[in-house]
Structure 1
Amino acid sequence: MSAEKKPYLTGHYTPVADEITATELTVEGTLPPELTGRLLRNGHNPKPGVTPTHWFKGSGMVHGIRLREGRAEWYRNRWVHTPALDGAPYMTEKGPDLTASTAGTHIIEHAGRLLALCEANLPFELTPELETVGVHDFRGKLRTAMTAHPKEDPVTGELHFFGSSPFPPFLTYYVADAKGEIVHSAEILGATASLKHDFAITRHHVVFAEGNVTFDPSEQSGIPYGWSDQQLSRIGVMPRGADGDRHIRWFSIEPGNMLHVSNAYEDGQGRIVLEGPTVDREGFHLSWNWWIGAPGRGTEPVARSYTRRWVVDMAAGTVDEQIIDDLAVEFPTLNEDYLGAENRYQYAISFPDEKGFGGYGVVKYDRTTGARRIHQVGDARMPSEAVFVPAAGATNEDDGYLLAVISDIKQDASQLLVLDASGLGRIATVHLPQRVSSGLHGSWIPDSTLDGSEG
């Protein structure tokens, strides 16, 4: 398939060709003054003339929007300057080069550092102005790749994360303290080569998910994974603590694959509740065909992605699971003050289903009432992951804002959409100086967490 027809290089996903900086952006509506910080969003954006063999192999570009006291001060976008950006291979004669990263999946802040992440590699640190500082290996204590979906405990400030590999050790678990120092690591026995993109923590447990997507050396796209009916789908539940890895338990579940966790918690009966959008075999192949640019049905990579809930009864040794919504969604988010605890509200992005029905929107779920509300963003307009920012003095879980970057194909433009997280009404729109290609994950970084935040 020619570069012009690769779905991840066209339409909403057309890469941005230039790094720019623009100041004093136009705002419609009124930005809440408490939104003082940076919305940073990462995504795969290969250089002009480069056609990666898989969407995930495109080099990472971070887009930043700086808000301060009711103004939109600047927008800037920068490639993450890793060896891979200049063509360095991941595989070498000595094995994988963990610094040869796309660094294009996510960007987080922990202990005052901005880290651009890709699950096959080491993190890369950026400045608050999005310039690349270099690889960050936690002072030599991180010797594996790092997941792009670490979890910061809202109570302790610890950062929980893992490194996965298609070769033993398949899974290594880490904890970094609130100061950014790794204080615990352990190889998790019993894990397999199944793809582990995300995971969860509760107040007392770590929860891993292994689906039917596993290491496949015959895959030619450069990402050596594929669906296997022989690979068991499982949930692993491990107590938090220094010797938790000795007590992990694995529970079989129905076939499927979950990329992103909505949340997990212990309910009033001590059971583990885990939720997240999941695909079946056909849904995975639809997504994979899109990711590699192969012929196949469907125009969206998440056309059969439906939210599933698992309830793990540790005492009985059983798992109850069900699909809890029939809307095709991905990129789940929540008020992260509730990460690892029982939450009432969750957010996600809706997509057209495999038959083209439905559309792009920002979705809010009320897990108590079962209600679902959708903010339709408009024709040919695709929102990025909706990042929740708590309101000052919030008393309710959904007191806050949702920030999403919109790709508008018809106007060849993008905006930052600010929604009221309670009712999904529009509060403000920030017009950006160029269209931002649809991407993956991002974070809201308040000024209080970064040194030199005046820039």
Structure 2
Amino acid sequence: MSELPVPYVTGHFTPVTDEITASELTVHGTLPPELNGRYFRNGHNPKPGITPSHWFRGEGMIHGVRLRDGRAEWYRNRWVRTPFLDGVPFTGTELEVSAAATNIIFHGGRYLALQEANLPWEVGPELDTIGVHDFGGRLTSAMTAHPKEDPVTGELHFFGYSPFPPYLTYYVADASGEIVRTEAVEGAGPSLMHDFAITDRHVVFLNPPVVFDHAEHSGIPYRWHDDVPFRIGVLPRTGPGEVTWFEVEQAAILHVTNAYADRHGRVVLEGPRFDRASWESSWKWWIGAPGYGTSPAAGSTFHRWILDPATGKAVEEPLDDLVTEFPSINDARTGLVNRYSYAIAFPGAGLPGYSTVKFDTVTGQQQLLRHGPDRMPGEAVFVPAAGATGEDDGYLLTVVSDLRADASQLLVLDAADIRRDPVAVVELPRRVPAGIHGDWIPDVEEN
């Protein structure tokens, strides 16, 4: 463990040292009446006295805000109490030893805290830890932190990957949370596969040139290899079938924005793209290596890949030059054609600070909400408005870390025009460290 300051435990990422609960939070503006539910946000929060060797190895802490009837009833933060929190090291075989620090979802009546090298950990609606969850023994590998819920069927699609064969296993759980499909994916290699995508007809897997490497000692044993191509695999959702692998220009993807099948039957995949220089600059930040930049995303830009299963050909194109990461969409468009997406815009490409950005892929236009000096937004979570008719008819929820005020706010933004004054601002009782991923769980889903 390093004793030197590293970027992922300083500034906006400085961990909090305790767990608190606060009631009846101050609200500026008016919370929309349809916002009845919980906003949960997960992230790495190392315990006091611990500096992990990599940003991704910090212990998991979930922050939650309960909204109901126009009020912000409570805020609370809790570590996910796994063996990793108690100091048990993860060796790669004990799948229950998880930091549980990357994401939190709600599916099949369970809140699941996720980290991709491990099994999920279930927590309760007030963030008490319940225990490890292996889908009744049917999940025998790690589970990605980025499962995709089909908005039509309610099925949860996910995968587990490993540096050892089988490198990639694909799973489907039905709407009740029972695994109904398990399939080894042929042709995958020992790549860092953080995310994937679905369409209404396909599953899309990523095999980037960042591969398992014993020589990498940062705590995450993966390294960029110039001799490994970037391949994207397309698997039919209809049942066991042959994967079509497309070799594209060498790059890496951490997070997918969305994928869909176009009217020609081609698979369109979109998301922030890292070239080698931007990946290695970002990795320096993630491990605190000399020469790291000012933020955890350096040079990743919005990109599109178009894959034709009929011909085996792929084309690609840049969509924007802003430095962006942590993309999101209206989840009702997951796997379907979408027009709008949202992301964090990081310093770079002419931006001095952090912004929230909305992309329109039909017009090519963008909306920027600049948050001001020393203010950093988190991932934007879309919530539809009551009776919504348009794709962007709703709200964005994001937690903003303010270093000058040593405080944080939950912003409720108008997703149709994020440049407008917030619909509502919830004052949180502490500065919430910049985190990773979260979710809005409406009360209707819990019942």
Q: Aligned match of 1:445 in 424, 438, 441?
A: 441
Q: How far is the alpha carbon of 1:297 from its aligned partner?
A: 4.3
Determine if contact 1:53/1:222 at 8 Å carries over to the other structure.
yes
Counterpart of 2:110, as a letter, is R
Match of residue 335 from structure 1: 330
| 1:110-131 Cα shifts (integer Å, max 9, x gaps) | 0110000000000000000000
Determine if contact 1:89/1:97 at 8 Å carries over to the other structure.
no
Q: How far is the alpha carbon of 1:295 from its aligned partner?
A: 0.5
Q: 1:281 aligned to 2:276?
A: yes
Determine if contact 1:3/1:9 at 8 Å carries over to the other structure.
no
Distance 1:306 1:218 in 2: 29
Match of residue 225 from structure 2: 228
Determine if contact 2:84/2:90 at 8 Å carries over to the other structure.
yes
Distance 1:296 1:99 in 2: 35
Distance 2:376 2:251 in 1: 26
Match of residue 210 from structure 2: 213
Q: 1:316 aligned to 2:308?
A: no
Distance 1:315 1:153 in 2: 24
Q: How far is the alpha carbon of 1:2 from its aligned partner?
A: 5.2
Match of residue 413 from structure 1: 407
Counterpart of 2:36, as a letter, is T
Q: 1:154 aligned to 2:134?
A: no
1:242-321 correspondence to structure 2 within 5 Å: 242-243=239-240, 246-321=241-316
Q: Which moved more, 1:363-372 or 1:174-183?
A: 363-372
2:423 alignment partner, SS class: strand
Q: How far is the alpha carbon of 1:200 from its aligned partner?
A: 0.3
Q: 1:352 aligned to 2:347?
A: yes
1:83 alignment partner, SS class: coil
1:165-244 correspondence to structure 2 within 5 Å: 165-243=162-240
Gaps of 5+ in 1: none
Q: How far is the alpha carbon of 1:242 from its aligned partner?
A: 2.5
Determine if contact 2:2/2:51 at 8 Å carries over to the other structure.
no
Q: Which moved more, 1:385-394 or 1:2-11?
A: 2-11
Q: How far is the alpha carbon of 1:324 from its aligned partner?
A: 1.1
Match of residue 81 from structure 1: 81
| 1:301-345 Cα shifts (integer Å, max 9, x gaps) | 212010110001222221110111000000100001010000011
Match of residue 395 from structure 2: 401
Distance 1:241 1:100 in 2: 34
TM-score of the two chains, using structure 2 as the length reference: 0.98
TM-score of the two chains, using structure 1 as the length reference: 0.96
Distance 2:225 2:251 in 1: 10
Distance 1:287 1:87 in 2: 27
User: In the comparison of the two structures, how many residue pairs are matched?
Assistant: 445
Distance 1:303 1:418 in 2: 27
Q: 1:325 aligned to 2:316?
A: no
Distance 2:189 2:366 in 1: 36
Distance 2:352 2:311 in 1: 40
Q: 1:432 aligned to 2:428?
A: yes
Match of residue 375 from structure 1: 369
| 1:326-384 Cα shifts (integer Å, max 9, x gaps) | 0000010000101000001111110002x884421111111111110111111110000
Counterpart of 1:304, as a letter, is G
Q: How far is the alpha carbon of 1:4 from its aligned partner?
A: 4.8
Determine if contact 2:397/2:412 at 8 Å carries over to the other structure.
yes
Match of residue 63 from structure 2: 63
Q: 1:128 aligned to 2:125?
A: yes
Q: Which ranges of 4 or more aligned residues in structure 1 deviate by more than 2 Å? A: 1-4, 355-359
Determine if contact 2:2/2:53 at 8 Å carries over to the other structure.
no
Determine if contact 1:390/1:400 at 8 Å carries over to the other structure.
yes
Determine if contact 2:377/2:398 at 8 Å carries over to the other structure.
yes
Match of residue 24 from structure 2: 24
Q: Which moved more, 1:173-182 or 1:314-323?
A: 314-323
Determine if contact 2:371/2:377 at 8 Å carries over to the other structure.
yes
Counterpart of 2:16, as a letter, is V
Shift in CA distance, 115/382, structure 1 to aligned 2, threshold 3 Å: same
Matched-pair identity in %:
62
Match of residue 164 from structure 1: 161
Q: How far is the alpha carbon of 1:69 from its aligned partner?
A: 1.2
Match of residue 12 from structure 2: 12
- Note the aligned Cα RMSD (angstroms): 1.1
Determine if contact 1:119/1:163 at 8 Å carries over to the other structure.
yes
Determine if contact 1:306/1:328 at 8 Å carries over to the other structure.
yes
| 1:82-137 Cα shifts (integer Å, max 9, x gaps) | 0000011111xxx6110110000000000110000000000000000000000000
Counterpart of 1:441, as a letter, is H
Shift in CA distance, 356/86, structure 1 to aligned 2, threshold 3 Å: farther
1:310 alignment partner, SS class: strand
Q: Which moved more, 1:17-26 or 1:218-227?
A: 218-227
Distance 1:170 1:316 in 2: 26
Match of residue 40 from structure 1: 40
Determine if contact 1:128/1:450 at 8 Å carries over to the other structure.
no
Q: How far is the alpha carbon of 1:433 from its aligned partner?
A: 0.3
Gaps of 5+ in 2: none
